[in-house]
Amino acid sequence: MILQKWKQCGTAVQGVDHIHAKVPCQDNVAAAAKNGVHAIALSDGGGSRKFSHVGSEYATRAACELLVERFEDYYSRLERIDGGDPKADKLLLRLRLEILDTVLDAMRTQVDAERTLYDFGCTLQFAAVKDGRYIAGHVGDGVIAAIYQRGLRRTVEVLSHPENAGAPNVTFFVTDHDAEAHLRLSHGECRQLEGILMMSDGPEEVLYSGAGGMHQNTQKLFDNFVGVRRAEYTAALQKFLTGNIAKHSFDDLSLNLLYLETVEWSKLSTPYRQELMEELRSTEQVERVSSYACFLDPSRKATRDEDLSFLRC
């Protein structure tokens, strides 16, 4: 049996400079999945903002929760905006403000006598997929990339470039007074898109260039995830960041990826098979693609327990 499913893995590690200065890691990643929507987010806290690690944590969490609840609404509104609606500019501004207000409201819950919203300044990347469609958003630097399968050729391409006014150590935060002007939104059908990768500006220094796009080895970050459990791959990503990327960037380092895995049951390890089956309860979470292939989605609601042994072949 051929099995397909969206799987996620992300991590953030403290940069060399912050280790020496005893500053907490200011990068954060998050993920959420519900009712067929799979969302990921990444945020890089501003080095000049005292509590940016708090801001990045709450920004990523809020973005993911928002996407899994409002995907259909946001996608239809983006379709209307791109469809030539005479009020497109106003509709886009309203959508940007709505998203940012939700993120900022989550951050405001952490404001107290010692911490202001300004102290939480951070960038933000987010993306979600559902039923062959995607939404992505980006404020500030870092990169959002996507892997595409075009015939026999697989390529990793930039989905959203960094915005930093053309200067290093300059970026835009969700807490800026004009953040809505810097929230870039995109959407579309996945078609040949099989995965999304986010990175903060630390890995960006190594894996991306404005002229050449993504480094050719970026594809391995997707390929090496196939048939590997999340806990194992989290450790592998951490090792990659601290052992390879940290040689070239002293900043905090974070990656978050969402990948449409296609695997053959007979080639999976026993631990991976167990993890795969433990996530599923019902055929409501299994979609027959063909007589020999199924799409699995544990995020779909299961109302009953059923025998799924037919997947083990």
| Average confidence score pLDDT of the chain | 95
Radius of gyration of the chain (CA): 20
Q: How far is CA 89 from CA 74, 93, 161, in A?
A: 15, 6, 22
| Residue 85 pLDDT exceeds 90 | no
Total domain count, the chain: 1
pTM recorded for the entire structure? 0.96
98-114 confidence digits (pLDDT tens): 999 999 999 999 999 99
CATH of the domain at 13: 3.60.40.10
Query: Is the model's pLDDT at 280 over the cut of 80?
Result: yes
Tens of pLDDT, residue by residue over 285-305, are 999 999 999 999 999 999 999
Does the pLDDT at position 166 exceed 60? no
Query: Is there a domain that residue 312 lies in?
Result: no
- What is the mean pLDDT of the segment spanning 192-201? 97
Question: What pLDDT sits at residue 257?
Answer: 98
6-64 pLDDT per residue, tens: 999 999 999 999 998 899 999 999 999 999 999 999 999 998 899 999 999 999 999 99
Coil, helix or strand at residue 198: strand
Q: Tell me the pairing of strands 27-34 and 213-214.
A: unpaired
Domain residues for the domain of 143 are 8-260
- Decide if 313 is inside a domain: no
More confident of the two residues 132 and 168: 132
294 lies in a domain? no
Find the Cα–Cα–Cα–Cα dihedral 228, 233, 236, 240, rounded to 10°: 110
- Asked if residue 280 is part of any domain, the answer here is no
**What pLDDT does 28 receive?**
98
The pLDDT value recorded for residue 245 is: 96
The whole-number pLDDT of residue 240 equals 97
- Answer yes or no: is 177 within a domain: yes
Q: Which helix (DSSP H) or strand (DSSP E) does residue 253 occupy?
A: strand 253-264
Mean pLDDT of 254-276: 96
